Amino acid sequence: MLSEVTATRYVTPLREGGSLPGIVEADDLGTYVMKFTGAGQGRKTLVAEVVCGQLGRRLGLRVPELVTIQLDPVIGLGEPDQEVQELLKASGGLNLGMDYLPGSIGFDPLAYEVDPGEAGRIVWFDALINNVDRSWRNPNMLVWHGEPWLIDHGATMIWHHNWPGAQASAAKPYDASDHVLAGFGPDIAAAAAELAPLVTEELLTDVAADVPDEWLVDEPGFDTADAVRRAYVAALLTRAATIHERITLGERTGAVPSQAPGWLTEPRRPWPHAPQNSTKGTEQK
């Protein structure tokens, strides 16, 4: 299960995010990017963040640690911004937190190099969870200590918005032509050989167990929260086995560089080496 902390101070909103996440401090002395149950996208966004974030971490990808955060709506009384006040008031109870990575910057594919192996693992993972939000338009990746970190998995697993069609939706191909890492020659076959055998029913069951019951109850068509969890397991397990066969790396859309995987014409810098004294997990907070 995810660790649970209590928010002690709301620091500032992050207005780049459509759901208006915010930076908060908590009673464990940690600092987190908090996503709210009262945001317009609703609780399924938080469910997707947990399922995909925890799955990514279990597969060895760099995803910041997730926690659940108890929020007392009274924190919102001192906020001068009316929009923030309303969001905090609407989000009392259990919310989601992602470990804040101090000093991180947004990933720019024109500035940093990613080797084909790592690019392949990330593209394969995004295909598995049907992530439509890791494009050159909006990478949803950070560079921290010289390494890429994956964030913002709310726009994934589109099938959970229509469970009767989940199996058919989960069987659909994944177009990675606009993926931010398409230009790095992702080795998808190697990624599938490495990662697909790890995506077992046992692993997915463990990951789904991290979703709080209160974000799953009253889901139409399901009697219990565990029944919803089993639906996530079934959809992802089916998709993991063969999704590598249905990943497309074709021509990019939009009025920017022409074709993957060779669309970058400017030389890129390699990832700078992480500091030798880096201690992830302690410096993030």
**Whether 128 and 237 share a structural domain:** yes
Q: Which of 225, 174, 231, 171 is nearest to 201 (CA)?
A: 231
Same domain, 147 and 52: no
Do 24 and 149 lie in one domain? The reply is: no
Do 83 and 116 belong together in one domain?
A: no
Of 75, 99, 123, the residue at which a domain comes to its end is 99
Same domain, 233 and 136: yes
Q: For residue 282, is it within any domain?
A: no
Residue 80 has a pLDDT of: 87
Same domain flag for 117 and 45:
no
For residues 74 and 137, state if they share a domain: no
**pLDDT value of residue 259:** 40
pLDDT of residue 254: 59
Residue 93 CA to residue 16 CA, distance in Å, equals: 24
Neighbours of 44 (CB within 10 A): 15
Q: What is the reported pLDDT for 210?
A: 98
Residues 116 and 198 in one domain: yes
What percent of the chain has a predicted confidence (pLDDT) above 90? Answer: 77
Domain boundary among the residues 81, 99, 117 is at 99
Is pTM beyond 0.85? Reply is yes
**Which stretches of the chain drop beneath a pLDDT of 70?**
16-18, 251-285
SS3 164: helix
CA distances from 116 to 102, 119, 248 (A): 27, 5, 16
What is the pLDDT, as a whole number, of residue 18? 63
Query: Based on the domain organization, do 135 and 44 belong to the same domain?
Result: no
278 in any annotated domain: no
Inside any domain, residue 233: yes
Domain residues for 91? 3-99
